[in-house]
Chains A and B, each alone.
Chain A
Amino acid sequence: MTKLFDQPLTGYLRDDGRKGIRNLVAVLAAADNVNPLVRQLAERVPGTVCLPASYGRGQMGKDFELALRAMAGLAAHQNVAACLVVSFEPESSQRITQRTAKLGRTVETLCFLEAGGLEASLAKGERILRRLHERAAQAARVPMSPAELVIGLECGGSDTTSGLFGNPALGLLTDRFIDAGGTAVFSEPVECLGGEDLLRARAVSPAVARQLLETVHAYDEMAKDNGVDLAGTNPTPDNMAGGLTSIEEKSLGALAKTGSRPIQGVLAYGESAPRSGVWMMDAPAAAVENITALAAGGAHLICFVTGTGNPSGHPISPTIKISANPHTVTQMPSHLDVPLADMLDGSIDLAQGAARIAACITRVINGAETAAERLRYLETNISRIGPSV
């Protein structure tokens, strides 16, 4: 058996002992009312990652809790050397700093009202960001082991090749990564509908099995409440033409990317895994919301299998695009990091496909840009699960 990663891995050591694979300085809006400020700040200080908010005013209950958890997760991410949290009034950023402190990271804050309007906030924020960049530049890479690594697993724009090649190849790699002590997080419980037998078989305990099934079926109920019968509308006519007959095989094809190791439990949206192994995160399937959840949950990077092609990457978690669809590989090569179309004719086998993904992961960890980073096709957006008042 060859080594899992063909080169030594390196990362930036953070105060809390974790290591990041990027050395980003970020500016995060605590609510949508300071988005113009954070956008202008990011423009003034090049190289700053801008994390605007979609909402933030009048959120409540579980929805508000989810938003705070995710924002804190992004601000405290290992790939972020330093983060400036911007809010309109002090309370909004304080709620986030309390949480980042619990996660072991300190962040800077900037308050629009306290600074006294846009111009003063821009001047103050720019000073802070320049200082953060200077400090970040001091950081050096240190050795990092696979056991310190968290990988997000995602698929989107799936087709026949995803279920046959892309996801199984990623699944094989996931098994080897887990055996090396790593942590992998998949999500999209809605795409596990019909894969219940697998979830039961792979749950680390009966209690976890119940939790997995409850999480999956909650999406089914939610869809039914909104008049959508997921089991009745899946597979779609496109899927059927591609050879899928049942929702079970569609889900098992998606779950193939998670390998075969025991599933440790269910994480809330944007929650970090408490220990190594495979975890399911409760996040919707929409790609941007999904990669945002995985990033907020501390994924160093995301392996994203696509069939027909999906360009999105997350600004904080480098997102590796993998496709075995020959058309996508030919038509959108600049959007792909790991082309696997040669698995179709047997030129490379599953193990070689997995090795190709591993080699790409190694390069990306050690600093190489992903296709999405290179193209700046990066987006962040936290899911909403409730209304504002």
Chain B
Amino acid sequence: MAVAATRAILLTAKDDVAAVLGALPANGEVSVTLSTSGEVQRPLTARCAIPFGHKIAVRPLVVGQKIIRYGYPIGVATRDIGEGEHVHSHNMRSLLSPADPHSGDDRILHDAAQLRDLVTACLRAAGATEPAARAMADALTEAHLRGVETHGLRRLRPYIERIRAGGVDAAAEPAIEHHQALIRVDGRNGIGHYVAQRAAAAAVDAARRLGIAIALIRNSNHFGFAGYYAGLIARSGQLGLVISNGQVCVAPEGRMRPFLSNNPLAIAAPTGDPDAFLELDLATSVTSRANVVQAAKNGQRLPPGWAQDNEGRMTRDAAAALDGSLLALAGDRGFALLFALEAMTGVLAGGAYADQVSSKESAPHAPEGTAHTIIAIDLDLALGTATYAARLDDMIARLRAVPGDAARPVRYPGERRWRLRRQRLRDGIPLAKADADDLMKLAAELGVTVDPALTGSR
């Protein structure tokens, strides 16, 4: 090295930033010393000029990530920060000061395990049994890990309100009856996530013995995102298929009120990578109700073809759509698929079906009567789990090899979700401040002590 490197001091081994001990030019070489041991770390290159005493990132940081110095958080990254970048008020803020309203991103990363524990504690305080609380907490946390925020923590408050209103029996244990490969489950109006998780586990066990099993579930409740349960089966080395009905929201074209729910269909299977799965998970309406609610909140107009008003006319007005109905994906063919899915969910399970499923909004105290159908196919018995995974990997490779614009790679279902999950398990789950604050408030209302590390501020 022609020019001597500028020294920088790292105060603890956990720290994300070091202080430079000289005025550092852009592209200047930095030699980082860990002050507690005197050990010289690998060299860094400054991405820009950094003044004496200021901080340099010793590793990449993502927006929302807490920045560690002296072994403790000193603030949060307000944008992605590369290794060797100057860290100061332009890309970091104190956890005690509010986010810049113009930055558009006030998200802070939260540890997934701590969030799961907090949600579990909230549900326990609301009267859920330990396994039921854990089941829902896991499903809600997984929704955030996989980027399915619409089925995440924002639903916790309404779920708990329904438990408290007596609409859901949080202490109920599902009744599970085995008839060879057919499993009949009475959810007894228990927490939907728990009922479905128990049914999926029963299906996995039965399929391991019998090659295939199908669980038909009635008297359940909203269970979050269907991909979670298909994923549970896939993680057991099987192929999972999950259907559910739910609150009615989809109308046949031109009709004046909704008749079916937008029954989700999820299919999941293992690939050769233990942290990546095929995970199809789609609602069968053009869009989810959550997106329409959001548009109504923001005063935005809906794209054409999403919804109808209560007269059965196409509308782009979000409020009119909420009062009316959504449309099935792919027009008549989508509606036909939806009809058939309900024929093998609510109708088959012996539970409520179509417009018999109770509305949470119009009848908060009444059981929903939701039905689910869960199928598990044992891959070991089919052709060997490893063989199946290798064949699926091959199909993915061949999909990627289809020629086209290399800048826009084609993705298989579940690819984004599981990549996001790996990243968020490592870095944390980003939560908007309002959502995090509401969760802490809910916990306080329930008398739950919050692990202070979670609050991210005082």
- Contact A243 B94, beta carbon cutoff 8 Å: no
| Given A168-B11, A252-B69, A346-B33, 14 further pairs, Cβ under 8 A | A164-B11, A194-B96, A196-B458, A197-B72, A198-B72, A217-B458, A231-B97, A243-B19, A247-B96, A248-B72, A248-B96, A252-B72, A345-B7, A351-B38
Cβ of B211 under 8 Å from chain A:
no
- Contact A164 B9, beta carbon cutoff 8 Å: yes
Main secondary structure of the interface of B (DSSP, over half): loop
Q: Chain B residue with minimal CB distance to A232?
A: B97
Q: Which residues of A contact B52 (CB under 8 A)?
A: 160, 243
User: B interface vs A, CB < 8 Å?
Assistant: 7, 9, 11, 19, 21, 33, 35-36, 38, 51-55, 69-75, 87-89, 92-97, 452-453, 458
- Contact B70 A243, beta carbon cutoff 8 Å: no
- Contact A164 B92, beta carbon cutoff 8 Å: no
Closest 6 CB pairs of A and B: A246-B94, A160-B53, A243-B53, A243-B54, A252-B70, A249-B74
Q: Which residues of B contact A256 (CB under 8 A)?
A: 11, 70
- Contact B73 A197, beta carbon cutoff 8 Å: yes
What is the CA–CA distance of A252 and B17 in the complex, to the nearest angstrom?
14
Cβ of A125 under 8 Å from chain B:
no
- Contact A349 B97, beta carbon cutoff 8 Å: no
Cβ of A47 under 8 Å from chain B:
no
Q: Which residues of A contact B51 (CB under 8 A)?
A: 243
Our pick among B7, B9, B70, B453 for the contact of A249 (Cβ within 8 Å) is B70
Q: Chain B residue with minimal CB distance to A230?
A: B96
Q: Chain B residue with minimal CB distance to A351?
A: B38
What is the CA–CA distance of A349 and B69 in the complex, to the nearest angstrom?
19
By size class, the interface of chain A is 35 or more
Q: Which residues of B contact A164 (CB under 8 A)?
A: 9, 11, 19, 21, 35, 53
Cβ of A242 under 8 Å from chain B:
yes
- Contact A200 B452, beta carbon cutoff 8 Å: yes
Task: Mark out the residues of chain A between 338 and 380 whose CB falls within 8 Å of any chain B CB in the assembled complex.
Answer: 344-346, 349-351
Q: Which residues of B contact A194 (CB under 8 A)?
A: 74, 94-96
Q: Which residues of B contact A197 (CB under 8 A)?
A: 72-73, 452-453
What is the CA–CA distance of A205 and B96 in the complex, to the nearest angstrom?
24
Q: Chain B residue with minimal CB distance to A159?
A: B53
Q: Which residues of B contact A346 (CB under 8 A)?
A: 7, 33
- Contact B72 A243, beta carbon cutoff 8 Å: no
Task: Mark out the residues of chain A between 182 and 205 whose CB falls within 8 Å of any chain B CB in the assembled complex.
Answer: 193-198, 200-201
- Contact B38 A350, beta carbon cutoff 8 Å: yes
Q: Chain B residue with minimal CB distance to A206?
A: B449
Q: Which residues of A contact B55 (CB under 8 A)?
A: 243, 245
Q: How far is the CB of A329 from chain B (nearest CB, A)?
A: 15
What is the CA–CA distance of A220 and B9 in the complex, to the nearest angstrom?
31
Cβ of A20 under 8 Å from chain B:
no
What is the CA–CA distance of A243 and B75 in the complex, to the nearest angstrom?
14
Our pick among A168, A217, A246 for the contact of B35 (Cβ within 8 Å) is A168
- Contact A196 B75, beta carbon cutoff 8 Å: no
- Contact A252 B458, beta carbon cutoff 8 Å: no
Q: Chain B residue with minimal CB distance to A220?
A: B458
Q: How far is the CB of A36 from chain B (nearest CB, A)?
A: 48
- Contact B53 A248, beta carbon cutoff 8 Å: no
Our pick among B21, B88, B94, B452 for the contact of A231 (Cβ within 8 Å) is B94
Q: Which residues of B contact A231 (CB under 8 A)?
A: 94, 96-97
- Contact B96 A246, beta carbon cutoff 8 Å: yes
What is the CA–CA distance of A249 and B92 in the complex, to the nearest angstrom?
12
Give 30 CB contacts A-B under 8 Å: A164-B19, A164-B53, A168-B11, A195-B72, A196-B452, A197-B72, A197-B73, A198-B71, A198-B72, A217-B458, A231-B94, A231-B96, A231-B97, A240-B88, A243-B55, A245-B74, A245-B75, A245-B88, A245-B92, A245-B93, A246-B93, A246-B95, A248-B74, A249-B75, A252-B69, A345-B21, A346-B33, A349-B38, A350-B36, A350-B38
Our pick among B7, B21, B73, B87 for the contact of A248 (Cβ within 8 Å) is B73
Q: How far is the CB of A265 from chain B (nearest CB, A)?
A: 18
Cβ of A253 under 8 Å from chain B:
yes
What is the CA–CA distance of A245 and B17 in the complex, to the nearest angstrom?
12
Q: Which residues of B contact A172 (CB under 8 A)?
A: 36
- Contact B7 A252, beta carbon cutoff 8 Å: no
Q: How far is the CB of B164 from chain A (nearest CB, A)?
A: 29
Q: How far is the CB of B95 from chain A (nearest CB, A)?
A: 7
Q: Chain A residue with minimal CB distance to B453?
A: A197
Q: How far is the CB of B97 from chain A (nearest CB, A)?
A: 7
What is the CA–CA distance of A386 and B53 in the complex, to the nearest angstrom?
40
What is the CA–CA distance of A200 and B73 in the complex, to the nearest angstrom?
13
Chain A, residues 247-286, CB within 8 Å of chain B (1/0): the string is 1110011011000000000000000000000000000000
What is the CA–CA distance of A213 and B19 in the complex, to the nearest angstrom?
28
What is the CA–CA distance of A217 and B453 in the complex, to the nearest angstrom?
17
Q: Chain B residue with minimal CB distance to A193?
A: B96
Q: How far is the CB of B440 from chain A (nearest CB, A)?
A: 15
- Contact A242 B53, beta carbon cutoff 8 Å: yes
What is the CA–CA distance of A177 and B55 in the complex, to the nearest angstrom?
31
What is the CA–CA distance of A198 and B68 in the complex, to the nearest angstrom?
12
What is the CA–CA distance of A111 and B7 in the complex, to the nearest angstrom?
63
Q: Which residues of A contact B453 (CB under 8 A)?
A: 197, 200
What is the CA–CA distance of A387 and B416 in the complex, to the nearest angstrom?
65
Q: Which residues of A contact B69 (CB under 8 A)?
A: 249, 252
Q: Chain A residue with minimal CB distance to B90?
A: A245
What is the CA–CA distance of A231 and B51 in the complex, to the nearest angstrom?
24
Q: Chain B residue with minimal CB distance to A353?
A: B35
What is the CA–CA distance of A201 and B87 in the complex, to the nearest angstrom?
25
What is the CA–CA distance of A346 and B94 in the complex, to the nearest angstrom?
30
Q: Which residues of A contact B9 (CB under 8 A)?
A: 164-165
Q: How far is the CB of A313 from chain B (nearest CB, A)?
A: 28
What is the CA–CA distance of A149 and B268 in the complex, to the nearest angstrom?
66
Q: Which residues of A contact B87 (CB under 8 A)?
A: 245
Counting chain B CB atoms within 10 Å of each CB, the highest count among A165, A168, A245 belongs to A245
Q: How far is the CB of A251 from chain B (nearest CB, A)?
A: 9
Q: Which residues of B contact A242 (CB under 8 A)?
A: 53
Q: Chain B residue with minimal CB distance to A196?
A: B458
Q: Chain B residue with minimal CB distance to A160?
A: B53
Q: Chain A residue with minimal CB distance to B455?
A: A196
